[in-house]
Every structure is written in structure tokens, then in C-alpha cells.
Amino acid sequence: MSGRRDREGQPSHQSSKRGHTVSLLALWAVIVAAGIVLLVRYSLEPGRPAHAPTVWPSASHVPRPVGRPFLVMIAHPKCACTRASIGELAVLMAHCRDRVSASVLFVRPAGTSREWSETDLRRSAGMIPGVTVLTDESGREAALFGASTSGQVLLYDGSGQLQFSGGITDGRGHEGDNPGRTAVEHLVHGQAAPSTSPVFGCNLFTSNQAGP
């Protein structure tokens, strides 16, 4: 009789184990789904836009060619999100050929060494034809241009008037066709286009990417 009760109780024990496994799988699925939602939300959350001067700031030390459009990108040298912005800048420069000059300003906070800012991101920017890479000591130029987010792009025309302020990606780390890059290309070619777009990247001055 005792053996029969054990055999009769076995299915109940197995059912309990299956129920426990199903519950764990359901919990795991909820956690994974929540993580994906948070990751997508983060990637699509824009940074703070620049309060850029409408006329090229006379106090800027960035050499600007007179008589032709000039693009400035302000970046954090250790912001992983900005790698996509650099990639889109390469595409933009290829599409615009000799119609625009560009500089990428990499912010170097006070107290950091030169080696701190010598990153792959900076080297990638320096390989783009038509792009000059500069160091923005203590974020002086970023402050002049009112920039807060890495990957901020500003386009000024040949007379120094602001034409565009925004980003040239569709999200943090997203590469591919996007409204910001298209707008800049149209403006460089003398076509009508929006003057702003969201900018996606880390904070230039409080980014967690910053290191000693």
C-alpha cells in the first residue's frame, strides 16, 4: 500500500516541478522584455540640444573658411554613441564632396592628459577626407557654441549664419539614412531643409564615458 501511494503521488510532484519551471521561464521572459524596452527607450532618447549662436562666434578659435559652408561637430572622445555620428559624417562628406569643410572638436576636460583623448573615435574622425580634428581644451568651444551633447552638429553658411543645429543619426549608435544628415546635405547643396533635428549622444561634460 505504501509503495502505491508513492507511485500515485509522483505525478503530483512532477506537475509541481513543471509549474515551478514554467513560472521561472515566465519571469525570465518578463525581465528580458523589460530590458529590451529600456534599451530601446534609451537608444531613442535624445540629448539636450545646443543653444547655438545664430552667427559664428567671433571668440571662437576654430578656423572657418569664408565663403563656403562650414560644419562643426562637437564630440566626447570616449562616447560610444558618437561612433555612429562619425560614420554618418563620413557618408555626408562623401555626398557633399568639396562643397563643405568640416571640423570635429573633441572635448578634453581640465586635468586630463593628452593621451586620455587619443581614442579610436578621434582617429576615425581624422581619416575622413575634408575633416579637421581639433582638441577643445576644457570645453571652451563647446561652451561658445552652446553644445551639451556629444555628436552635436552645427552648419554655418559662407557668411557665418547658422543653417542647421542637431544630430545626424536616428538614435544612439544608429547608423543609416536619417533626417538630420539628409537635412545637412540638402542645405549644403542649396536646397530647402529643416534647420534642426534631435541629437543623440552622451553628455559632453558629465558623461559616464569620461575617465581619468
Residue 162, beta-bridge partner list: 156
Per DSSP bridges, beta strands 131-137 and 162-166 are unpaired
Q: What is the pLDDT along the chain (212 residues), one digit of tens a residue?
A: 444 444 555 566 666 666 666 665 555 555 554 444 444 444 458 899 999 999 999 999 999 998 999 999 999 999 999 999 999 999 999 999 889 999 999 999 988 988 998 999 999 999 999 999 999 999 999 999 999 999 999 999 999 999 999 999 998 888 999 999 999 999 999 999 999 999 999 999 874 444 33
Of residues 152, 105, 167, 157, the one with CA closest to residue 131: 105
Dist. CA 175–CA 185, nearest whole Å: 16
pLDDT at position 173 is: 83
Grid cell for residue 143: 561652451
The interaxial angle of helices 179-188 and 82-96, nearest 10 deg, is 30
Grid cell for residue 74: 562637437
> Is the CB of residue 59 less than 8 Å from the CB of residue 128?
no
Cβ atoms within 10 Å, residue 151: 31
